[in-house]
Amino acid sequence: MVRVFTHSDGLEHVNPPGHPEQVDRLRAVEAGLAGLPVTRHEAPMGTREALLRCHPARHIDRIAAAVPQSGWAQVDGDTFLSPGSWRAALRAVGGVCAAVDSVMADPGAAFVAMRPPGHHAERETAMGFCLFGTVAIGAMHAIAAHGLSRVAVLDFDVHHGNGTQDLLWDEARVRFVSSHQWPLYPGTGAAGERGAHGQITNLPLRGGSGGAEMRAAWTPVLDDLADWQPELVILSAGFDAHRADPLAGLNWREDDFAWLTRAICDLARGSCGRVVSSLEGGYDLEALADSVAAHVEELGRLADD
């Protein structure tokens, strides 16, 4: 069964009314998981040691100091802190690291159902609803704690994972792949952005495109990764490429998320047998619930092998 790492602290990160990254997103995820054969695990608090593998102390301390006693503190144009944001963000980081530990000890699949998301957070910049680079931290934890030298980080959120790219730009032991609508926020993710070692692959997708274009972009990349034989696969699982999502303009459906998840699980099945997926975007609640259900159901097929 898929191991789901979550915690009620994820409900305590509260954005202002009308903000798309809302508490109800986590409730929608829970609705998508209802009835699926999963095991539940408490996401622990992430450690300062884990954060420091990707962010300098001054960034960590700046976020901690900005958390308000009440109401909201705004850290950029669309990123806010509430009194519960610090614990929620640390649970998201801790959940990813614990999920990595879990699949390293016993191969299979894990899904981290936490918020805030993380893939826009750069080394010293919180942005795009994100405070810390959760998946990048998870990849560096895998390297530091488990001695891995080939980690694949795959991002299918509709927005480019600029933060993950920034945090892993110089890291030759991690291959980062991001598919995303182009052009769109945050303005990064051109195909020519390749990383210090050529280990980054960006897959820009035109607005209005759907599953056929996504399959054509991802298939050769996954074939290439199969030859590389990753020891762990970590996913930035954003579901805002769905045709119903209000923040973007791709036309994916639930079966597109299922297809891509299945293809990624086939990659893992032929190499390491280990996938950790972490929630990123997805802002239409019904589409989010249905897409998470399709995603986790496919993760379960790897877990059952």
List residues with catalytic annotation: 120
Here the tokens at position 110 are: 């894990």
Alpha helices in the chain (DSSP H): 24-33, 48-52, 57-66, 85-105, 134-146, 162-168, 211-228, 254-269, 285-304
CB atoms within 10 A of CB 46: 23
Q: Which of 249, 270, 264 is nearest to 296 (CA)?
A: 264
Q: How far apart are CA 296 and CA 292, in angstroms?
A: 6
Q: How far apart are CA 143 and CA 104, in angstroms?
A: 11
Exposure pattern of 19-33 as b/e (b: 16+ CB <10 Å)? ebbbbebbebbebbb
Phi–psi pair at 141, nearest 5 degrees: -65, -40
Cβ burial of 120 (10 Å; 0-12, 13-18, 19+) is buried
